[in-house]
Chain A
Amino acid sequence: MTHLIQLHEFDGGIHPPENKRQSNSRPIRKASLPAELVLPLHQHIGAPANPVVAVGDSVLKGQVIAEPEGFVSAPLHAPTSGKISAIEARQVPHASGLSETCIVIEPDGEETWAEHQGLCDALGLEHCDDIPKEKLIERIRDCGIAGMGGAGFPTAVKLHTGQHKIDTLILNGAECEPYITADDMLMREHASEVIRGAQILLQILGAERCLIGVEDNKPEAIVALEGALVQHNEEHHIDVVTIPTKYPSGGEKQLIQILTGKEVPSGGIPASLGIVCQNVGTAAAIADAVDLGRPLISRITTVTGDAVRDKGNWEVLLGTPVSHLLSLSGYRPAQRERVVMGGPMMGFALPTTDLPVVKTTNCLLAPTEKELPTNNPAMACIRCGLCADACPADLLPQQLYWFSKAQEFDKAEQHNLFDCIECGACSYVCPSEIPLVQYYRFSKGAIREERAAAEKAEQARIRYEARIERQEREKAEKEAKRKARAEAAAKAQSAKKEAPVAKEAPTTEPTTDADLEKLQKQLSAAQAAVAKTKEKLEAARENPEMADKIPAFESALTKTQDKIKTLAKEIAAAKKAAKAAPAATGPDKGDPNSPERLQKKWETAAARLDTARKRLEDAEAEGADTVDALRTGVEKQEARVAEAKAAYEAALKSGTDSKPTEATATKPDAEQLQKKLLAQKDRVEKARERLEMARAEKLDSVDALEKALNKQLEKLAAFEAQTSTTGEV
């Protein structure tokens, strides 16, 4: 030690039996290769890694088998050479006992390394002190290094300190939890790597000093580190600080308080105080990664407890099954078998021993029932206050217990529940043996879940509102489009009204046709609307409850009827225009007075007459007010038919006069005439029937129908006369 470090003390803490002698009396042994290695993709805090190998692939030792996913994540490497035998969900070492995706490797026993080299050589630099810090951090990330003290936070992420200026690096070698000696043995046997890791970290952080905190129950480790300091000539930057043994001095915040006297603010990170804290095991892994290019594929794990014969530390490949390690250590399962991953204070009991060793597995504890009795049933809290004295975070464990038990989570949060480091000191001292930490873990989980639910609800609300807004926008757009179309139609209409007189353009023909169709569609829609409104009106009249709606219906009815009238006018105008157009184009197409054309005209006129009559009938049946208008329409149409017929006959006559010899041309005419005669007879029949019906019902249309019948009879007579003349020809 070159500097005098003023030590501080944190409140609370306990002195449980250390039980470290059992496992730190012999050197680290190398565990043999198991039959298979199981590597969970999620061995760190953050997002799980993403596999980049497939089942059946051969991998080399140190080869990347899963890439990090996102910023807070870490890659995964093959701990030995072999074949990928499965990528599937397997139970993982987690307190929940749940399954997660794992990559399973079947070792080939060759231990063939993938190509790897130190960062200095890889960059081809002469002075290894010149490596830029970005490259160093990148190397640490690529080697999959995550905090090896227990939490497993990706180290590269922790080294991105952002705007915080770091002046102190702290290496955590306290290892305060009973039974565990992994860091102790690492510092004894790999002190040089630890110091080298500290050098690299100092280079990255640009910090002025490094403090390595080691509890005074590890004198051999302290001596080893001092020796390595001299060897690396780093006595002026790095200090090995001996701290008094007390649980939990190895907690990050507690160690910072011991070494610097500064307290990490609630909810803050040490970087805000200019401090970064790393585990000694992490530092050694960083040294291996940077100097040798070796990724994190193995770690030192303590196997201890009275149920194992051969207690000690193992250098074990990640993914090695716990059962393999236990059998190497001579595990004798007792009656109430229990294997704890981690220490007796913060560890959790494994549901089975078929689980793999992961990056954070610092200890496997297999105690006998006598050594570490299972918890007795909890008794009532007697409010003794021992827990508050023991709490290293200066919380009120008793209050937190009551709030957690009553599920008053907001109050628990107000009492700084999230500052609890779950060290278990309160449970240890509790005379009523209340599992206090379990209550706090439950509360924290419930609060986190509540927060996640609130976040999700907020997200759902935003999405819902966005959807509603989108739907309204679409509706408005549709409406705007419809309006624009209607306006355009109206414009075209008015333009047309002016146009036919000024110019007899043939181009108006298609538009008028289209318009006509549209107008007719609108008309039918309006008629349907009228019918509906009428129904509603009647219903409203019958139903006294809806009486207040009658005026609204009536106004709606008159409006639609007005609309129908205007539409009918428009249709008539459009029809006129349509008629004018062919007339205008007529001369171009040859003789408009040819018998064929005239015949066509006549036929269309007759067809129109038919439809007009039908409409009239319908109107009469319904008793609509349009009957009169329709009747005059029918009469006009009749006149037109007669006109067309006369024109046709005249043309025919002139045709026969001019071409008397062409019997072939007239013969079909004769046949046609015959047909028409029959059709005319039919019509007369129909007209008669109608007249009779009208008479029977005493309708006022009787006169009109009589007239119509007379006309039809006249036509029949004319046809008969014609047939006889053509027959003669």
Chain B
Amino acid sequence: MSTIIIAILVLAGLAAIFGALLGFASVRFKVEGNPVVDQVNDLLPQTQCGQCGFPGCKPYAEAIADGEKINKCPPGGESTIQALADLLGVEPEPLDAEHGAEKDVPMVAYIREDECIGCTKCIQACPVDAILGAAKQMHTVIVDECTGCDLCVEPCPVDCIDMVPQSTDTSSWYWQAPTTGVELIATDRRSITTEAHA
């Protein structure tokens, strides 16, 4: 009988100790905010274009953490969807065409400067402050900071903003993957080359 009581007491004591320990840990090492939001936000392309229907990448990341679909980001495209699916452990879905299509080449805004009237509307629209200018002064785009989000194009009253593909120079150019043709084995190739010679 006493052994049973001792066992119960020991177990109860252990439970109390570990309960206290866990309680302390949960207070001491409390994580502020939702860490998933930051992880999702890191995967999003940060163009801040709002094509997903949220006013920026962070709000969309918060929505994803709350169960929003992961296929609403056209600038990120399939690779971002795949990365989000891996992170959240959900099935990747094809990009939702409702929010726009993925672009092949990164674009940047270009202001035709002699047509600019200096209305500052595009400056207010730019989510990353990449447009420089003042009222009644010509505006220009800081190319290195432009995310190609298109948000400045619509507010321009004189339609002087174009989206142009980002140019490649020798420092950003890199070799393309070799085009893989039919991979023949040596004996097959020999017959093909002899045919060609004949």
Contact A464 B57 (CB under 8 A): yes
Interface residues of B in 44-82 (CB under 8 A from A): 44-48, 56-58
Contact B127 A467 (CB under 8 A): yes
Contact A442 B175 (CB under 8 A): yes
In the assembled complex, the CB of B141 is this many whole angstroms from the nearest CB of chain A, namely 13
A404 in the interface (beta carbon within 8 A)? yes
Contact B174 A446 (CB under 8 A): yes
Contact A445 B178 (CB under 8 A): no
Interface residues of A in 352-410 (CB under 8 A from B): 376-380, 404-405, 407
In the assembled complex, the CB of B146 is this many whole angstroms from the nearest CB of chain A, namely 9
In the assembled complex, the CB of A461 is this many whole angstroms from the nearest CB of chain B, namely 4
Per the bound structure, the CA–CA distance linking A95 and B170 in Å amounts to 9
Contact A42 B178 (CB under 8 A): no
Query: A445 — which chain B residues lie within 8 A by C-beta?
Result: 173-175
Contact A377 B174 (CB under 8 A): no
- Of the listed stretches B10-18, B94-102, B182-190, chain A binds B182-190
Contact A467 B129 (CB under 8 A): yes
Query: CB-defined interface of A437-475 with B at 8 Å, one 1/0 digit per residue?
Result: 011011011101100110011111101111110000000
Query: B193 — which chain A residues lie within 8 A by C-beta?
Result: 376
In the assembled complex, the CB of B123 is this many whole angstroms from the nearest CB of chain A, namely 11
Contact B128 A457 (CB under 8 A): no
Interface residues of A in 398-428 (CB under 8 A from B): 404-405, 407
In the assembled complex, the CB of B9 is this many whole angstroms from the nearest CB of chain A, namely 53
B168 in the interface (beta carbon within 8 A)? yes
Per the bound structure, the CA–CA distance linking A448 and B174 in Å amounts to 9
* Known contacts A377-B184, A404-B177, A438-B175; A461 and B57 CB within 8 A of each other: yes
Query: B89 — which chain A residues lie within 8 A by C-beta?
Result: none
In the assembled complex, the CB of A451 is this many whole angstroms from the nearest CB of chain B, namely 12
A720 in the interface (beta carbon within 8 A)? no
Query: B172 — which chain A residues lie within 8 A by C-beta?
Result: 449, 452
Contact A379 B189 (CB under 8 A): yes
In the assembled complex, the CB of B126 is this many whole angstroms from the nearest CB of chain A, namely 8
Contact A464 B56 (CB under 8 A): yes
Other-chain residue from A98, A378, A457, A458 in contact with B173 (beta carbon distance below 8 A): A98
Query: A439 — which chain B residues lie within 8 A by C-beta?
Result: 177-178
Query: CB-defined interface of A294-336 with B at 8 Å, one 1/0 digit per residue?
Result: 0000000000000000000000000000000000000000000
Per the bound structure, the CA–CA distance linking A457 and B147 in Å amounts to 8
Per the bound structure, the CA–CA distance linking A596 and B149 in Å amounts to 71
Contact B46 A461 (CB under 8 A): yes
Summarize B's interface: helix, strand, loop or mixed: loop
A202 in the interface (beta carbon within 8 A)? no
B169 in the interface (beta carbon within 8 A)? yes
Contact A100 B169 (CB under 8 A): yes
B181 in the interface (beta carbon within 8 A)? yes
* Known contacts A379-B189, A464-B46; A435 and B178 CB within 8 A of each other: yes
Query: A94 — which chain B residues lie within 8 A by C-beta?
Result: 170, 173
B130 in the interface (beta carbon within 8 A)? yes
Contact A458 B46 (CB under 8 A): yes
Query: B145 — which chain A residues lie within 8 A by C-beta?
Result: 459-460, 463
Other-chain residue from A378, A456, A460 in contact with B183 (beta carbon distance below 8 A): A378
B140 in the interface (beta carbon within 8 A)? no
Query: B144 — which chain A residues lie within 8 A by C-beta?
Result: 456
Query: B56 — which chain A residues lie within 8 A by C-beta?
Result: 464, 468
Per the bound structure, the CA–CA distance linking A457 and B73 in Å amounts to 14
Query: B181 — which chain A residues lie within 8 A by C-beta?
Result: 377-378
Query: B58 — which chain A residues lie within 8 A by C-beta?
Result: 461, 464-465
B176 in the interface (beta carbon within 8 A)? yes
Per the bound structure, the CA–CA distance linking A441 and B176 in Å amounts to 8
Per the bound structure, the CA–CA distance linking A693 and B171 in Å amounts to 87
Q: How big is the A interface, by class? A: 35 or more
Contact A98 B170 (CB under 8 A): yes
Per the bound structure, the CA–CA distance linking A684 and B171 in Å amounts to 91
Per the bound structure, the CA–CA distance linking A725 and B174 in Å amounts to 107
Per the bound structure, the CA–CA distance linking A407 and B180 in Å amounts to 13
Contact B127 A444 (CB under 8 A): no
Query: B120 — which chain A residues lie within 8 A by C-beta?
Result: none
Query: B184 — which chain A residues lie within 8 A by C-beta?
Result: 377, 379-380
Contact B170 A100 (CB under 8 A): yes
Query: A460 — which chain B residues lie within 8 A by C-beta?
Result: 46-48, 128, 145, 147
Contact A405 B128 (CB under 8 A): no
Query: B176 — which chain A residues lie within 8 A by C-beta?
Result: 442
Per the bound structure, the CA–CA distance linking A449 and B182 in Å amounts to 29
For A380, A459, A460, which residue has the most chain B Cβ atoms within 10 angstroms? A460
In the assembled complex, the CB of A42 is this many whole angstroms from the nearest CB of chain B, namely 7
* CB closest chain-B residue, reference A470: B129
Query: B147 — which chain A residues lie within 8 A by C-beta?
Result: 456, 460
Query: B186 — which chain A residues lie within 8 A by C-beta?
Result: 379, 431-432
Query: A442 — which chain B residues lie within 8 A by C-beta?
Result: 174-178
Other-chain residue from B48, B175, B177, B182 in contact with A405 (beta carbon distance below 8 A): B177
For A42, A96, A376, A457, which residue has the most chain B Cβ atoms within 10 angstroms? A457
A136 in the interface (beta carbon within 8 A)? no
Per the bound structure, the CA–CA distance linking A460 and B127 in Å amounts to 9
Per the bound structure, the CA–CA distance linking A379 and B47 in Å amounts to 42
Query: B185 — which chain A residues lie within 8 A by C-beta?
Result: 379-380
A92 in the interface (beta carbon within 8 A)? yes
Interface residues of A in 82-136 (CB under 8 A from B): 92, 94-96, 98, 100
* Known contacts A378-B183, A379-B183, A380-B185; A463 and B129 CB within 8 A of each other: yes
Contact B173 A464 (CB under 8 A): no
In the assembled complex, the CB of A100 is this many whole angstroms from the nearest CB of chain B, namely 6
* CB closest chain-B residue, reference A94: B170
Contact B129 A378 (CB under 8 A): no
Other-chain residue from B44, B57, B170, B174 in contact with A42 (beta carbon distance below 8 A): B170
Contact A464 B127 (CB under 8 A): yes
Query: A463 — which chain B residues lie within 8 A by C-beta?
Result: 128-130, 145
* CB closest chain-B residue, reference A460: B46
In the assembled complex, the CB of A383 is this many whole angstroms from the nearest CB of chain B, namely 13
Interface residues of A in 461-518 (CB under 8 A from B): 461, 463-468
Query: A446 — which chain B residues lie within 8 A by C-beta?
Result: 174
In the assembled complex, the CB of B6 is this many whole angstroms from the nearest CB of chain A, namely 54
Contact B178 A467 (CB under 8 A): no
Per the bound structure, the CA–CA distance linking A641 and B171 in Å amounts to 88
Contact A98 B168 (CB under 8 A): yes
Per the bound structure, the CA–CA distance linking A313 and B41 in Å amounts to 58
* CB closest chain-B residue, reference A45: B171
* Known contacts A379-B184, A379-B185, A379-B189; A464 and B128 CB within 8 A of each other: yes
* CB closest chain-A residue, reference B128: A463
Query: A459 — which chain B residues lie within 8 A by C-beta?
Result: 145
Query: A376 — which chain B residues lie within 8 A by C-beta?
Result: 189, 193
Identify the 4 closest CB pairs spanning chains A and B, nearest first.
A445-B174, A441-B175, A457-B46, A96-B173
Query: What would be 13 A-B contacts, judged by CB atoms less than 8 Å apart?
Result: A96-B170, A96-B173, A98-B168, A100-B169, A379-B189, A438-B177, A438-B178, A441-B175, A442-B177, A460-B147, A463-B145, A464-B57, A464-B128
Question: 13 other contacts beyond A379-B185, A463-B130, A466-B129, with CB at 8 A cut-off?
Answer: A42-B171, A377-B184, A379-B189, A404-B177, A438-B175, A442-B175, A445-B173, A453-B45, A457-B44, A457-B47, A460-B128, A461-B41, A463-B145
- Chain A residues packing against B (C-beta within 8 Å): 42, 92, 94-96, 98, 100, 376-380, 404-405, 407, 431-432, 435, 438-439, 441-442, 444-446, 448-449, 452-453, 456-461, 463-468
- Chain B residues packing against A (C-beta within 8 Å): 41, 44-48, 56-58, 127-130, 144-145, 147, 168-178, 180-186, 189, 193
